[in-house]
Amino acid sequence: MKVFNKNKLLQGYLSSLATDVSIGFIPTMGALHEGHLSLIKKAKAENDCIVVSVFVNPTQFDKKEDLVNYPKTLEKDLKLLEAIDCNVVFTPNTDEIYKGNITSTHFSFDGLEFVMEGEHRKGHFDGVGTIVKRLFEIVKPHKAYFGEKDFQQLQIIKKLVQKHQITVEIVPCEIYREKDGLAMSSRNVRLTNLQRNEAPFIFKTLTKARDKFEKKTISEVIDWVEKQFEKNPVLKLEYFEIANIKTLKPTKLKEDKIIYRAFIAVFAGSVRLIDNIALN
């Protein structure tokens, strides 16, 4: 496994590969877990050379304490990547990426950026767009893999690629869950025992909401979910929305032939967890 922390060295290595070598790319912020490994396994089955980046991107954090507290476990990550037979790891520092100017570019994602995560985490998707575009320019992958846990991010990256005519195929990967249903996230390690025990309530509530969706109105489903969280002393609901998967606009109106998904963000103390589920 080759590990590079400089753009030039990584690019030098990748351009030395034969022209027919396909590159599969998995951008991460480290603190790798089984969810990341499942993306890497999928990429390995579909590409000749796997590149994983580990970079905690400062411009996508709307709160400084979230960036400071984000788990950083590079040594452990490298061991996991070695064990899974990853080919190339890119571990740049902030200077290497931002060249002394740690700001994000402003993007238009045709409105996908204003709702849900975009509404609650100002500037988040400009930060994501900036780093993902930069990494695509450096790595020039044929395929790039993103988990559906960050469903809004996935749609935004598809839009980024389309609008900027970046020649990469974006491959969505299903949410990877713990046995008790909690969506895998690097943030889960920050949960206390009490919060960790309570956290599967998020997915349990989502699955019950999905079951109710067929017969109830959207407002009834939203009210029901909000009531469940009002009764929970450990988890604080930030938002629960039902949205058309194309526009991501939260709606109260159920229409025929539209595919809907439910989206949720919850605080367990200062740890923010998100999840989503297909409804029809």
Using the rule CB under 6 A, give the single segment among 89-97, 110-118, 125-133, 251-259 that binds ligand PAF.
Answer: 125-133
As a whole number of angstroms, the distance between CA 189 and CA 55 comes to 18
- What residues between 58 and 87 interact with ligand PAF by CB under 6 A? 60
Does position 37 bind ligand PAF by CB under 6 A?
no
Q: Angle at CA 168, nearest 5°, toward 163 and 174?
A: 100
Of the candidate residues 77, 113, 150, 275, the single one contacting ligand PAF (CB under 6 A) = 150
Using the rule CB under 6 A, give the single segment among 16-24, 107-115, 128-136, 200-208 that binds ligand PAF.
Answer: 128-136
As a whole number of angstroms, the distance between CA 149 and CA 198 comes to 19
Q: Angle at CA 191, nearest 5°, toward 189 and 195?
A: 145
Minimum CB distance to ligand PAF smaller for 153 or for 205:
153
Q: Smallest gap, in angstroms, from Cβ of residue 149 to ligand PAF?
A: 8
> Does residue 208 contact residue 197 with C-beta atoms inside 8 Å?
no
Encoded one letter per residue, x for contact with ligand PAF by CB under 6 A and - for no contact, window 182-221 reads ----------------------------------------
Is 164 considered catalytic here? no
Minimum CB distance to ligand PAF smaller for 28 or for 205:
28
Q: What's the longest Cα–Cα distance across the chain?
A: 59
Does position 43 bind ligand PAF by CB under 6 A?
no
Burial (CB < 10 A; 0-12, 13-18, 19+), residue 154, is: middle
Q: Smallest gap, in angstroms, from Cβ of residue 147 to ligand PAF?
A: 7
User: With DSSP H G I counted as helix, E B as strand and the rest as coil, what are the percentages for the chain, rounded to 5?
Assistant: 45, 20, 35
Residues that bind ligand PAF (CB under 6 A): 27-29, 57, 60, 128, 131-132, 150, 153
